Amino acid sequence: MSDNLRSRPLRMAMIGGGPGSGIGEAHRRGARLDGQITLVSGAFSSTPEKSRQQGEALYLPPDRVHGDWRELIRDEMRRPPNERADFFSIVTPNHLHYEPTREALLAGFHVVMDKPMTMTAEEARDLERLAREKGRVLVLTHTYVGYPMVRLARDLIRQGRLGKIRKIHAEYFSGWLSSPVERQNNKQASWRTDPALAGAGCLGDIGTHAAILAEMVTGLRMEEVAAEVTTFVDGRGNDDDFAMLVRWEGGARGTICASEVAIGEENDISIRVYGDKASLTWSHADHEHLVVRYPDRPKESWSKGWEYVAAASDAA
Amino acid sequence: MSDNLRSRPLRMAMIGGGPGSGIGEAHRRGARLDGQITLVSGAFSSTPEKSRQQGEALYLPPDRVHGDWRELIRDEMRRPPNERADFFSIVTPNHLHYEPTREALLAGFHVVMDKPMTMTAEEARDLERLAREKGRVLVLTHTYVGYPMVRLARDLIRQGRLGKIRKIHAEYFSGWLSSPVERQNNKQASWRTDPALAGAGCLGDIGTHAAILAEMVTGLRMEEVAAEVTTFVDGRGNDDDFAMLVRWEGGARGTICASEVAIGEENDISIRVYGDKASLTWSHADHEHLVVRYPDRPKESWSKGWEYVAAASDAA
Amino acid sequence: MSDNLRSRPLRMAMIGGGPGSGIGEAHRRGARLDGQITLVSGAFSSTPEKSRQQGEALYLPPDRVHGDWRELIRDEMRRPPNERADFFSIVTPNHLHYEPTREALLAGFHVVMDKPMTMTAEEARDLERLAREKGRVLVLTHTYVGYPMVRLARDLIRQGRLGKIRKIHAEYFSGWLSSPVERQNNKQASWRTDPALAGAGCLGDIGTHAAILAEMVTGLRMEEVAAEVTTFVDGRGNDDDFAMLVRWEGGARGTICASEVAIGEENDISIRVYGDKASLTWSHADHEHLVVRYPDRPKESWSKGWEYVAAASDAA
Amino acid sequence: MSDNLRSRPLRMAMIGGGPGSGIGEAHRRGARLDGQITLVSGAFSSTPEKSRQQGEALYLPPDRVHGDWRELIRDEMRRPPNERADFFSIVTPNHLHYEPTREALLAGFHVVMDKPMTMTAEEARDLERLAREKGRVLVLTHTYVGYPMVRLARDLIRQGRLGKIRKIHAEYFSGWLSSPVERQNNKQASWRTDPALAGAGCLGDIGTHAAILAEMVTGLRMEEVAAEVTTFVDGRGNDDDFAMLVRWEGGARGTICASEVAIGEENDISIRVYGDKASLTWSHADHEHLVVRYPDRPKESWSKGWEYVAAASDAA
């Protein structure tokens, strides 16, 4: 039996996520997974016909599908309470994160937005302040920190199993931009490699995942960095690779590396943390396991779903 | 954009799948995954209060939730076409597969039923005949044959990449019944180890998965078997382990082994097929990859979702 | 510093192991590994010119190299004590194991012989009796039981860590005979597939390794077997594949499988043992690790050479 | 049959490698492996009694064992040609690499010396010049570049299989100095953490292995580096960890990282190279395989010893 915290599923309105979108479908699939969220409406594309097509593919009633996200927000505000969306999901290209989120918050909705948050730090702080003022929940989706074995990693470190943290190595390697696919009609690649639409390239798109993973698992903050940021594919507007030396609070050291030109890699995000008592490694390619290693006893592989995992987690 | 083959999601009614059920939630999660199916009603338990609780947890309207599966079928028949379930999902313990499926087919519904099909081969043949007569779809869910890399394995073999098949080794090892948990209030274990409720034990519960996997991947049928079927836990009513020598049509040889007392294993189903030109291996523990091996070139690991996989599949 | 148990390295004479031999070089490499054994003489081939070539390649003095193994034994008997071989290494094809071993024992030498021991059980018992009468050491080399992590597996089982043994699955898969290489001038394949020279095929050549591994690790003996023994390659004189159901003393059950036609496999011998408290797996492909699994705590990977391994072994 | 390039095995004299030495035994074991080298003499320790013990353990005649390496060189010079060492193996702590190597070269011997070469670059250049003048071979042992699959990696890159090299990530992680073992009577740790005896710490001891591996495999040279070099264990004289950003000739970028405080790691050296056509990875933990990955076909795992490996190598 699913945990049932309320009397009905939450209603979600979506901005972005039209035909060819990657993240829109990811948010929808995530929403469907446990039956606690229902998609009720959307402005999936600024091209009305594309938005309509997407709404139809999702079996939405035509009057809940819009070509203009401002119109969607207005429509939701007008709906009676038993129809109205509880929250908005913002899954537009990066340059279109700030405005819709701001408007939805102003209209009184909670918001779940995809990362990176905004094009500037100032915009991000503005949204944070606004959400606080309005008493609304503002969620930023860093999907990898939600894996059960990542949560376990955080708990084991909190409990002191690794001792004092010395070294942190995080990375996110993929190869999907190893050739100039942005010039071959790949819509995803087009906006993601365009500084005006995406802001940062590899650094902002996937480097942020590695960084937040490291912060979340260790509970530490970065203090200083030195980085080499590179664009390997000729003519590309954004960076597609970086390597970074990091100094963490408390004296830990390490690297964060990410790449979109690492041929053969998929979404290979991983983290290794070394303390003065033990170390741990987690990799997305084997996300159901967490490996813990000691100087004086066998290496352990913790496996998702077993009772001993629940017993060791902070929630226990 | 999801493929949208119809104008609305299919409506599913469920029999079984109450609190503590494993397979009921698996069917529901599978149904939610791509948004093409909606659960509309259920008789989740023969204890009305439990069925009601489960329906509430699933946000179903109270009038679509029943304590008696016959009543659920009658109610669905009475519903107007725009509310009525399109098909039934049967996720009861094994001894309760036959009757509800039969009644649902007789009432004109399609049926998706969990394996093993029925308690006797005669009942199974009866259902197959009935579905044909009524022109209804009758689906038996062998979940592992649906994995993309299992489908690829079948396609590569069909295309002759392995040559003539010589050897097939399939197995399904788990350890969840390694101690007498059926006497420790584990409801799943209780009915699954009871011959009257489950029919066969390890052989029927998970051995069937390994067997069907081998048949589906190779396209061959078993001709003769010699097996050792064992009950390792004292006092258990059903078998909890077996090993089987198999002769396949066309001269292939091999083994099928399964166990519920293999401590440390989870749902570790795997298959290895050896031909006279190449071999392949697939394992549920690494289900996104298919390994193909040759006598005269590097071993290959095919990875889910890549374009070359689609290009090599029969559907391409 | 190597352990130094004596005042000089042991002197080894070799029968067999000429050009193209596989096992002869394996024995020589093993002998060289720790500097405790020196090869002093040999009858490497019954073709005198080939034996001479091999001796030269090994930098042996010409007068210690013979074309006739009987002559070698006689020559060693005549040598003064400070030159004479301490023991013989017998690395001939199987049909030539018995006689040279017998003669070397009768002449008063210790003998290390490759497996399988002899062509008949009677011959084997004769050699065992003779060695006892003569007070000589007679060693049969089952190389895989010497791996440190295999020794550890045996010790952990002896100490009761797995509880009562329920299931044993051992296998040895290779693919080197997947095509009729014995008809393509492969000398190794020629005698190994000839019943007159090799006795058994896959069963005797590599199946014995899997069987002895299982016996050594568990300390149990087989009581009953049912096997399917197959020759997949047309025209081959010996079996090249088998699968066997085994009943072990004390109630354990399991399988032993081996193949020489499993394309893509090398010398992939492995064992899995399941008890009522824990299980373990070891594989030659990852021979430096031993994996131990429990019902209620993380899986362990024990790694060769660490202090905790020494501490847990019976020799500690 | 071993390749036999000469009429007798080469004779090796060793300086260093006494009781408790790690590298001395590694050189001896390597020398024994194929029977082409015989150890004939040594100055294993400057403590005569320890040198004597070591010589005895190696079954050397007492008159070939010395407490003073200068005496050993003199003695070898005096020996008749049929007894005299062909070359010296220098396996002393780092500060004692230069002088013995210099003297052995001056005396006319070839020299195999362990890395790092000397305490200063000037000394290294001096030895290189001297070897050239004397016409002697001077070998520096970077053991990891000798692995067959590392050689294959180099050949595949040379042949253009990866295209233009973009990214290189090499690392060498171990954990043996994660606690202050140099203060717990560990002789190896004592000299290796002492700047006066070892020169550099982690950087020189194992970082050099990762660097040379990257250079050898790619055929590229480093142009610029930015590094964070750290000593994690309090009171330690040498660095025990570093991370380095590297710019390679031709525009490649990447990192080299090494650590001696990475608990749970052994001698885990690995390299990943990404080109614009393909990528490859090799890891010492799985040294018999080389993985090659492409944008448009299955990942390959090349396996040591197969014929297709020989056919693809430059030596073929």
Please answer yes or no on whether B4 and A57 come within 8 Å at the CB atom: yes
Over pLDDT 70: what percentage of chain D? 98
Average pLDDT over residues A143-165: 97
Q: Supply the DSSP symbol for B185.
A: T
What average pLDDT does chain D have? 95
Is D129 in contact with D103 (CB distance < 8 Å)? no
Task: Give chain A's mean pLDDT.
Answer: 95
User: Distance between CA atoms of C194 and D239, rounded to whole angstroms?
Assistant: 62
Residues with Cβ < 8 Å from A271, sequence gap 6 or more? A153, A168, A169, A170, A171, A210, A213, A214, A217, A281, A282, A283
Rounded Cα distance, C112 and C21, in Å: 17
C-alpha to C-alpha distance for C128 and C135, rounded to whole angstroms: 11
ipTM: 0.94
Neighbours of chain B (3+ CB pairs under 8 A): A, C, D
pLDDT of A316 = 62
Q: 3-class DSSP state for residue B147?
A: coil
Contacts of B305 in chain D (CB under 8 A): none
- Of A76, A99, A103, A101, give the one whose Cα is nearest residue A90: A101
Q: Which residues pair with A41 in a beta bridge?
A: A13
When mean pLDDT is compared across A278-287, B256-265, C224-233, C306-315, the lowest value belongs to C306-315
List residues bridging with A56 in a β-sheet. none
Mean pLDDT computed over every residue of chain B: 95
> How is residue D311 written in tokens?
């056919």
- Write out chain A residues lying below 8 Å of D231, CB-based: none
Q: What angle separates helix A121-134 from helix A98-106, to the nearest 10 degrees?
A: 10
The rounded percent of chain A whose pLDDT value lies above 70 is: 98
Report the residue from A296, A298, A306 with minimal CB separation from C300: A298
Task: Provide mean pLDDT across the span D150-162.
Answer: 98
The pLDDT of residue A242 is above 80 = yes
Put simply, the answer to whether C59 touches D25 (Cβ < 8 Å) is no
3-state SS, chain C, equals CCCCCCCCCEEEEEEECCCCCCHHHHHHHHHHCCCCEEEEEEECCCCHHHHHHHHHHCCCCHHHECCCHHHHHHHHHHCCCCCCCCEEEEECCHHHCHHHHHHHHHCCCEEEEECCCCCCHHHHHHHHHHHHHHCCCEEEECHHHHCHHHHHHHHHHHCCCCCCEEEEEEEEECCCCCCCHHHCCCHHHHHHCCHHHHCCCHHHHHHHHHHHHHHHHHCCCEEEEEEEEECCCCCCCCCCEEEEEEEEHHHCEEEEEEECCCCCCCCEEEEEEEECCCEEEEEHHHCCEEEEECCCCCEEEEECCCHHHHHHCCCC
The answer to whether the CB atoms of C1 and D54 lie below 8 A apart is: yes
Residue A207, pLDDT > 80, answer yes
Q: What are phi and psi of B65, to 5 degrees?
A: -115, 130
**pTM of the predicted model, to two decimals?**
0.96
Bond into D93 cis (ω within 30): no
Under 8 Å CB pairs connecting chains A and D tally to 109
Yes or no, beta carbons of D299 and B300 under 8 Å apart:
yes
In this predicted structure, what is the pLDDT of residue A185?
86
Give D170-196 pLDDT, tens digit per residue. 999 999 999 999 999 898 899 999 999
- More confident: D14 or C314: D14
Q: Which residue in A8, A32, A303 is closest to B33 by CB distance?
A: A32
pLDDT of residue B5: 56
pLDDT of B3 strictly over 60: no
Q: How far is C255 from chain A (nearest CA, A)?
A: 27
> What's the pLDDT at A301?
98
Tokens 């320790």, residue? D45
Record: contact C279-B179, CB cut-off 8 A: no
Neighbours of D, requiring at least 3 CB pairs below 8 Å, are A, B, C
pLDDT band at D2 (very low <50, low <70, confident <90, very high): very low
Distance from C-alpha of A76 to C-alpha of A105, rounded to nearest angstrom: 13
- Give per-residue pLDDT as tens, C111-160: 999 999 999 999 999 999 999 999 999 999 999 999 999 999 999 999 99
Nearest chain C residue to D21, by CA: C1
Residue of C nearest to B178 (CA): C276
Rg (CA), chain C: 21
Residues of B with CB below 8 A from C227's CB?
A: 245
Question: D260: closest CA among D222, D219, D205?
Answer: D205
**What pLDDT sits at residue C83?**
96
* Cβ separation D2–C20 shorter than 8 A: no
Q: Kindly tell me if the per-residue pLDDT of C67 is higher than 60.
A: yes
Q: What pLDDT is attached to residue D3?
A: 43
**How many angstroms separate the CA atoms of D267 and A224, rounded?**
30
Q: Is B101 within 8 Å of B94 (Cβ atoms)?
A: no
Q: What is the pLDDT of residue A115?
A: 93
pLDDT tens digits, C256-294: 999 999 999 999 999 999 999 999 999 999 999 999 999
Q: Name every chain D residue with its beta carbon within 8 A of the beta carbon of A253.
A: 228, 230, 241, 243
DSSP characters over chain A: -----SSSPEEEEEEE--TT-SHHHHHHHHHHTTS-EEEEEEE--SSHHHHHHHHHHTT--GGGB-S-HHHHHHHHHHS-TTTS-SEEEEES-GGGSHHHHHHHHHTT-EEEEESS--SSHHHHHHHHHHHHHHT--EEEE-GGGGSHHHHHHHHHHHTTTT-SEEEEEEEEE--TTSS-GGGTT-HHHHHHT-HHHHSSSHIIIIIHHHHHHHHHHH---EEEEEEEEE--STT-SS--EEEEEEEEGGG-EEEEEEES--TT-SSEEEEEEEESS-EEEEEGGGTTEEEEE-SSS-EEEEETT-HHHHHHSTT-
- Residue B201 vs residues A310, B188, B196, B240: alpha-carbon distances, Å: 29, 12, 11, 6
pLDDT at A199: 87
Asked if the model's pLDDT at residue D314 lies above 70, the reply is yes
Looking at residue A315, what is its pLDDT?
78
Contacting C with CB below 8 Å, chain D residues are 1-4, 7-9, 18-20, 25, 28-29, 32-35, 53-54, 56-59, 266, 303, 305
Is residue A144 pLDDT above 80, yes or no?
yes
Q: Between C297, C303, C307, which is nearest A299 by CB?
A: C303
Cα distance from C183 to chain B (closest Cα, Å)?
Answer: 17
The per-residue pLDDT for C199 is 87
Q: Of the candidates C166, C255, C263, which has its C-beta nearest B232's C-beta?
A: C166
Question: Does the beta-carbon distance from C167 to B264 stay under 8 Å?
Answer: no
Residue of A nearest to B30 (CA): A33
Place of tokens 């590309």: A236
**pLDDT at C214 > cutoff 70:** yes
Q: β-pairing, D253-259 with D241-248?
A: antiparallel
Q: Could A245 and D228 be called an inter-chain contact, meaning their C-beta atoms sit closer than 8 Å?
A: yes
pLDDT at D149 over 60: yes
Helix (H, G, I), strand (E, B) or coil at B72: helix
Compute the radius of gyration of chain A from its Cα atoms. Answer: 21
**Chain D residues contacting A via beta carbons under 8 Å:** 166-167, 169, 175, 178-179, 226-228, 230, 232, 241, 243, 245, 247, 253-255, 257, 259, 261-265, 274-279, 293-295, 299
Q: Assess whether pLDDT exceeds 50 at residue D212.
A: yes
What is the average pLDDT across D147-155?
98
CB–CB of B272/C173 below 8 Å? no
* Residue C3 pLDDT exceeds 60: no
Residue C36 has pLDDT above 70, yes or no: yes
Decide if A126 contacts A266 (C-beta within 8 A).
Answer: no
Mean pLDDT over the full length of chain C: 95
Residues of C in contact with D20 (CB under 8 A): 1
**Closest-approach residue (CA) in chain B for A21:** B1
Query: Distance (Å, rounded) from C-alpha B26 to C-alpha B38?
Result: 14
Tens digits of per-residue pLDDT, B153-194? Answer: 999 999 999 999 999 999 999 999 999 999 998 988 999 999
